[in-house]
A and B are shown apart, each in its own frame.
Chain A
Amino acid sequence: MRYNEKELQALSRQPAEKAAELGMRGPKKGSVVKRRLVKLVVNFLFYFRTDEAEPVGALLLEHCRVTQEEPSGFSISFLEDPERKYHFECCSAEQCQEWMAALRRASYEFMRRSLIFYRNEIQKMTGKDPLEQFGISEEARFQLSGLKA
Chain B
Amino acid sequence: MKLNERSLAFYATCDTPADNAGFLYKKGGRHAAYHRRWFVLRGNMLFYFEDAASREPVGVIILEGCTVELVEAAEEFAFAVRFAGARARTYVLAAESQAAMEGWVKALSRASFDYLRLVVRELGHRLAAVRAGGPLPPRRPHTLPPRRPRALPPKENGCAVWSSETPAAPSPRPGPEPPPLPPRRRASASNGPLDSASFAQLHEWYGQEVRALRGQWLRSQAQP
> Which residues does A use to contact B, with CB under 8 Å?
1-11, 14, 42-43, 54-60, 62-64, 78-81, 105, 108-115, 117-119, 121-122, 124-127, 130-136, 139-141
Contacts and interface: CB of A to CB of B under 8 A. Distances in A.
Interface residues of B, number: 64
A59 B17 CA distance: 23
A119 to B, nearest CB: 6
Interface string B87-127: 11100000000000000000100101110110110011011
A5 B60 CA distance: 10
Given A109-B43, A134-B144, A60 B3 contact: yes
Contacts of A1: 5, 8-9, 56-60
A10 B1 contact: no
Nearest to B4: A59
Interface string B45-84: 1000000000011111110111000000000000000011
Contacts of A8: 1, 3, 62
Contact of B11 (A56, A62, A112): A62
A11 B58 contact: no
Nearest to B3: A58
Contacts of B66: 7
Nearest to B106: A139
Contact of B6 (A81, A109, A126, A132): A81
B19 A141 contact: yes
Interface stretch (B145-153, B165-173, B214-222): B145-153
A119 B11 contact: no
A134 B194 contact: no
Contact of B130 (A58, A62, A126): A126
28 contacts: A1-B9, A1-B59, A3-B60, A3-B62, A4-B60, A7-B62, A7-B66, A7-B88, A11-B62, A42-B112, A42-B113, A57-B1, A58-B4, A60-B7, A60-B11, A60-B45, A79-B10, A109-B43, A118-B126, A122-B123, A122-B127, A124-B183, A126-B162, A131-B119, A132-B147, A134-B144, A136-B110, A140-B17
Given A6-B89, A10-B83, A132-B148, 4 more contacts: A7-B64, A43-B113, A109-B43, A111-B113
B212 to A, nearest CB: 13
B124 A63 contact: no
Contacts of B192: 114, 117, 121
B29 interface: no
